[in-house]
Amino acid sequence: MRDTLLIVQIVLSVLIVIFVLLQNRAEGLGTMFGGGGEIFRTKRGLEKFLYYGTILLAVLFSSLSLIIVKLSN
16-41 pLDDT, tens digit each: 999 999 986 655 555 556 655 556 66
pLDDT reported for residue 47 = 87
Dist. CA 4–CA 8, nearest whole Å: 6
Least confident window among 5-9, 30-34, 51-55: 30-34
Average pLDDT over residues 58-68: 96
CA 18 to chain centre: 8
Residue 64 pLDDT greater than 90, yes or no: yes
The residues spanned by each domain of the chain are: 1-23+47-73
- Taking the whole predicted model, whether its pTM rises above 0.85 is answered as no
Nearest 5 degrees, angle CA 21-CA 24-CA 28? 105
Dist. CA 9–CA 23, nearest whole Å: 21
